[in-house]
Amino acid sequence: MRFKLIVALVDDKDTDTILRVAREAGATGSTVISSARGEGLKPEKTFLGLNLTGHRDLLMFVVAEQLSRTILEKIAEEGNFEASPGSGIAFQIDIEDAVGLSSQLETIGSEIEDQI
């Protein structure tokens, strides 16, 4: 079975919604790294050297290759990434090898059974 790593950077207020949508689309788990910071085309404003931006979370999902595009699209749609600049970004990366997924393989296999 081949896997992809989906990485999403989202406002911390949207984290729970993005996690729910990813799970509904087939993700079987995630890793959340809190308090990430990002900068887009325009640098964020500061006040007396203090950053005024909200916190962002970095979400990572190891998913079956067959489900990756669907999950990525659902995340982008729910996060409104394309329509609202600065709302977030998500991308996927090929995974060459992975260990520690044996407890999830049965569930992943049943979800993609008709696609293999």
| Distance between CA atoms of residues 27 and 38, nearest Å | 25
| Distance between CA atoms of residues 84 and 87, nearest Å | 6
| Distance between CA atoms of residues 90 and 53, nearest Å | 19
Residues 6 or more apart whose CB falls under 8 angstroms from that of 33 comprise 57, 58, 59, 60
Give the ranges where the chain is alpha helix by DSSP (H).
15-24, 65-79, 102-112
Indicate the CATH number for domain 3-40+53-97: 3.30.70.120
Express each pLDDT in 6-39 by its tens digit. 999 998 899 999 999 999 999 988 999 998 876 6
pTM of the predicted model as reported, rounded to 2 decimal places: 0.79
Q: Are strands 3-11 and 56-64 parallel, antiparallel or unpaired?
A: antiparallel
Express each pLDDT in 85-101 by its tens digit. 778 899 999 999 888 87
